């Protein structure tokens, strides 16, 4: 242990290497979901705050998709535990049908499973990790106008394990912005 | 070490040598020690300035990421950040090798901050909302790794601050006790202690104290200030035992007494001023306990030359008096009666201490 600590160059290689690898891992994991994941399109509603570290962003509120009403089957796990929500496509878009602690085994073609986390057990609301969209400084307002008119929808890529990633934005049925992989 | 102190010593030491209190070689050693300290003092200013510089450059990197500047492709931005990270750690290793340790610490700290900015950049690139405190935790782990392997305390302190920020954020989100804070804190505190980082250990003590006090309010149900008082008393008790037995496990006995005292008093304040449903008689009881504890802590601090404990006890005493005045014990008249009674009690204690001191000095005088 001491000898590693004494050799600053080796230490530097390990530290910078591990930190770069962590960053690389997150990038690759996200890029793979966007490239290979199944696409679904969700309606959104706006809220506009700002993150201290990551700049301006628009909060995307997915409405019913995040609310597990009383008709949703399955026992809800505790806060901070992963939760798999099965969505089914109906006349009014995607709606949650079941919520389980493990990935459901029976998923039909018109169904998709999203991995989320219970943000409030009381209100039965779920977060899927796709609730913010970061925009260049000052451009949040324009985006909000689209959302305000109900014209904006989000293209979400869903990975095999249920991980969701924002793939792009759609206005009046036309994709206006597709996220680059890297 | 101030220059005037050194000059005063240079003036006094020959007199003390003449009087036979100090041997000539002792006087020479004392003067050498004092003048040896001066460069380290200058080094400390250089160190502080370079750390502040690193913090400012790091803040620049974070704001740059937050601006989400579109003129530069995001992959290029990520590349820039990762190269910055390698450059900072590389500079740290080089500076350590050349013996410029003060600048090396600043470079390692800068590397840790740039790592944090990079994590934020990746979250921004992929619109990862997830659980935002997780990003802070990844950052804290990176800073811990850098501080541990590169042997740099400022980066470890950054890691401690990030762990606290992460814990507070998660607690606020869960509206419940966030237990994972405890092992994370313990790991960082253990590394700080192993590295003999004095200010880091003090900061870690402060952090765990705040966390224990917060337990009074974050545990489900009614406030649990009685539990907080119990934990504080137990910690102070262990510290007292260490000090009395005379084990010199660093300064941990002293640290534990101070920590336990502050926690117990914070719990008692909670019981008196925050749990409004308390009976009047219990409030008076708690107030008496705080005043007695404060007096005891002042005395113990003076006896063991623990200025921090004495000062904390003065502050506790003052808060108790002001708090009671605001709370009023039923009526202002009752409060007034309480203050006069407590005042008389404290003066009686002072008289007792005075008599004990006199007897003690008479006895030691008679012996010599």
Coil, helix or strand for B224?
Answer: coil
CA gap A111, A129 in Å, rounded: 19
Tokens of B279: 């009976």
Q: What's the pLDDT at B162?
A: 96
**Portion 72-111 of B in contact with A at CB < 8 A:** 74-75, 78, 82, 85-86, 89-90, 92-93, 96-97, 104, 111
For residue B27, give Cα distances in angstroms to B12, B20, B33.
10, 11, 10
Residue with tokens 């005088």: B365
Q: Judge: B66–A54 Cβ closer than 8 Å, yes or no.
A: yes
pTM: 0.78
Give the 3-state secondary structure of residue B151.
coil
Show which of residues 49-68 on chain B sit within 8 Å of chain A, judged by CB atoms.
62, 65-68
**pLDDT the model gives residue B1:** 44
pLDDT at B36: 57
Say whether residue A120 is in contact with chain B using an 8 A CB cutoff.
no
Q: How far is A3 from chain B (nearest CA, A)?
A: 10
Q: Does A176 touch chain B (CB under 8 A)?
A: no
Mean pLDDT of all residues belonging to chain B: 86
DSSP state for residue A67 in the 8-state scheme: B
State yes or no: pLDDT of A47 exceeds 70.
no
From CA B248, how far away is CA B304, in angstroms rounded? 13
Residues of chain A in contact with residue B114, where contact means CB-CB under 8 angstroms, are: none
> Per-residue pLDDT averaged across A107-122, rounded?
82
> What's the DSSP call for residue A154?
E
Band (pLDDT 50/70/90 cuts) for residue A119 is confident
A182 touching chain B per CB within 8 A: yes
- Whether residue A20 and residue B85 make contact (CB cut-off 8 A), yes or no, is yes
Contact (Cβ atoms closer than 8 angstroms) between residue B62 and residue B120 = yes
Burial of B269 (0-12, 13-18, 19+ CB in 10 A): buried
Q: Which residues pair with A47 in a beta bridge?
A: A59
- pLDDT, residue B68, reads 72
Query: What pLDDT score does A25 carry?
Result: 92
Sheet containing strand A125-127, strands side by side = A93-100, A82-90, A111-120, A125-127
Count of helix runs (H) and strand runs (E) in chain B? 13, 0
Position with higher pLDDT, B203 vs A118: B203
Which residue, chain included where needed, has tokens 């504080």?
Answer: B232
A1 pLDDT more than 50: no
In three state form, how does the secondary structure of B314-352 look? HHHHHHHHHHHHHHCCCCHHHHHHHHHHHHHHHHHHHHH
Say whether residue A18 is in contact with chain B using an 8 A CB cutoff.
yes
**By CA distance, what is A135's nearest residue in B?**
B68
Q: What angle do CA B350, B356, B362 make, to 5 degrees?
A: 135
Q: Please give the residue that has the higher pLDDT: either B358 or A149.
A: B358
The CB-side HSE value for B34 (13 A sphere, CA atoms) comes to 17
Contact across the interface for A133 and B149, Cβ inside 8 Å = no
Return the closest-CA partner of residue B152 out of B89, B204, B81, B202. B89
Q: Which is nearest to A128 in space by CA: A56, A47, A53, A44?
A: A44
Taking CA–CA distances from A137, the nearest residue in chain B reads: B67
Question: Is B271:B229 a contact under the CB 8 Å cutoff?
Answer: yes
For position B280, what pLDDT does the model report? 77
Contacts of residue B43, Cβ cutoff 8 Å, sequence gap at least 6:
B102
pLDDT of residue A138: 66
Q: Say whether residue A127 is in contact with chain B using an 8 A CB cutoff.
A: yes
| pLDDT score recorded for residue A80 | 64
Q: Does A16 touch chain B (CB under 8 A)?
A: yes
Q: Are strands A125-127 and A174-178 parallel, antiparallel or unpaired?
A: unpaired
Do the Cβ atoms of A180 and B70 come within 8 Å? no
Pairing of strands A82-90, A111-120: antiparallel
Instruction: Give residue A63's pLDDT.
Output: 81
Cβ <8 Å between B89 and A135: no
The rounded distance, in Å, linking the Cα atoms of B120 and B92 is 23
Please, what are the averages of pLDDT over each run of 10 residues along chain B (368 residues)? Answer: 67 86 84 65 80 90 79 84 94 91 92 93 80 87 95 94 93 84 95 91 94 88 86 92 76 89 92 78 87 90 87 90 76 82 86 80 66
* Cβ neighbours for B239, distance < 8 A, ≥ 6 positions apart: B252, B253, B254, B255, B256, B257, B258, B259, B260
**List of residues 6+ apart from B219 with CB closer than 8 A:** B177, B227
ipTM score of complex:
0.73
Residue A140's pLDDT is what? 64
């Amino acid at each position: 242990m001491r000898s590693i600590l004494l050799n600053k160059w080796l230490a530097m290689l390990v530290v910078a290497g591990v930190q770069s690898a962590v960053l690389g891992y997150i990038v690759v994991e996200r890029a793979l979901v966007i490239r290979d994941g199944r696409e679904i399109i969700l309606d959104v509603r706006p809220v506009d705050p700002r993150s201290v570290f990551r700049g301006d962003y628009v909060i995307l509120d997915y409405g019913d998709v995040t609310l597990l009403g009383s008709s949703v089957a399955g026992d809800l796990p505790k806060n901070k535990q992963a939760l798999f929500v099965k969505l089914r496509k109906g006349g009014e878009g995607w709606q949650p049908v079941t919520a389980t602690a493990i990935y459901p085994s029976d998923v039909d073609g018109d169904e998709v499973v999203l991995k989320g986390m219970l943000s409030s057990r009381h209100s039965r609301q779920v977060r899927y990790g796709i609730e913010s969209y970061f925009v260049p400084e000052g451009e949040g307002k324009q985006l909000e106008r689209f959302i305000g008119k109900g014209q904006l929808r989000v293209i979400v890529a869903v990975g095999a394990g249920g991980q969701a990633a924002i793939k792009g934005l759609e206005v009046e049925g036309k994709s206006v912005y597709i996220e680059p992989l890297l | 070490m101030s220059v005037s102190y050194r000059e005063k010593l240079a003036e006094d030491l020959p007199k003390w040598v003449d009087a036979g209190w100090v041997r000539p070689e002792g006087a020479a050693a004392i003067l050498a020690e004092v003048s040896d300290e001066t460069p380290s003092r200058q080094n400390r200013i250089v160190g502080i300035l370079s750390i502040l510089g690193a913090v400012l450059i790091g803040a620049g990197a974070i704001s740059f990421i937050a601006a989400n500047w579109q003129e530069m492709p995001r992959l290029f931005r990520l590349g820039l950040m990762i190269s910055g990270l390698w450059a900072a750690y590389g500079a740290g290793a080089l500076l350590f090798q050349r013996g410029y340790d003060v600048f090396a610490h600043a470079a390692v700290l800068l590397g840790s901050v740039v790592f944090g900015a990079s994590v934020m950049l990746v979250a921004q690139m992929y619109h990862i909302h997830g659980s935002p405190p997780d990003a802070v935790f990844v950052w804290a782990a990176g800073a811990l790794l850098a501080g541990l392997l590169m042997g740099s305390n400022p980066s470890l302190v950054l890691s401690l601050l990030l762990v606290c920020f992460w814990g507070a954020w998660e607690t606020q989100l869960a509206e419940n006790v966030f237990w994972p804070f405890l092992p994370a804190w313990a790991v960082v505190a253990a590394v700080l202690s192993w590295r003999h980082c004095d200010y880091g250990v003090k900061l870690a003590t402060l952090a765990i104290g705040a966390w224990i006090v917060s337990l009074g309010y974050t545990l489900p149900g009614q406030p649990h200030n009685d539990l907080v008082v119990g934990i504080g008393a137990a910690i102070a008790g262990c510290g007292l035992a260490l000090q009395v037995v005379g084990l010199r496990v660093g300064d941990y006995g002293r640290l534990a007494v101070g920590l336990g005292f502050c926690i117990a008093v914070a719990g008692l304040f909670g019981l008196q001023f925050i749990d409004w449903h308390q009976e009047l008689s219990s409030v008076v009881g708690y107030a008496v306990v705080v005043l007695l504890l404060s007096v005891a802590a002042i005395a113990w601090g003076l006896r063991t030359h623990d200025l921090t404990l004495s000062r904390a006890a003065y502050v506790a005493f003052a808060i108790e008096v002001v708090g009671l005045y605001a709370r009023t014990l039923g009526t202002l008249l009752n409060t007034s009666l309480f203050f006069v009674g407590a005042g008389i009690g404290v003066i009686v204690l002072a008289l007792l201490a005075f008599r004990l001191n006199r007897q003690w000095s008479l006895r030691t005088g008679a012996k010599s």
